[in-house]
Amino acid sequence: GAGVSQSPSNKVTEKGKDVELRCDPISGHTALYWYRQSLGQGLEFLIYFQGNSAPDKSGLPSDRFSAERTGGSVSTLTIQRTQQEDSAVYLCASSLGQGGGQGTQYFGPGTRLTVL
């Protein structure tokens, strides 16, 4: 597709269950980012992938959060043993990844996660 896509658009889960969120970046974009946005708040950086380099995981809030990017394209964000405070919109973005002014990020529509 022409833009970043994410699935599912909405996910409701029970506390303690694991969830997987998927992101398909724009073709050719080497950089991929995950953010979390709680209600009425700004974006919280979670993790950043750039090409084949080791990801920048500095934003992951706990070891329950992990992400993979297979084949340099699709990424999956996994949250294990979900907690109610994990409820948020999870946004994925991709960019050409060169930084220095080429770092414009293109966002997907997000996945709204609700943990009951």
Partner 1 sequence: SQQGEEDPQALSIQEGENATMNCSYKTSINNLQWYRQNSGRGLVHLILIRSNEREKHSGRLRVTLDTSKKSSSLLITASRAADTASYFCAIETGANNLFFGTGTRLTVIP
* Shortest Å, Cβ 48 to partner 1: 6
Select the span of 18-26, 66-74, 75-83, 92-100 touching partner 1 (CB under 8 A): 92-100
Cβ atoms of 22 and 74 closer than 8 Å: yes
Total binding residues toward partner 1, as defined by CB under 8 A: 28
Binding positions for partner 1, 6-35, rule CB under 8 A: 31, 33, 35
The CA-based dihedral angle spanning residues 63, 108, 28, 57, taken in that order and rounded to the nearest 10 degrees: -20
Which of residues 30 and 80 has its CB atom nearest to partner 1 in the complex? 30
- The residue ranges of DSSP E strands in 26-87, in sequence order, are 31-37, 43-50, 65-69, 75-79
Total Cβ atoms within 10 A of residue 18: 11
Q: Which one among 41, 62, 83, 114 touches partner 1, defined by CB under 8 A?
A: 41
Cβ atoms of 33 and 47 closer than 8 Å: yes
Residues contributing to the site for partner 1 (CB under 8 A): 4, 31, 33, 35, 37, 39, 41-43, 45, 48, 50, 56, 89, 91, 93, 97, 99-101, 103-110
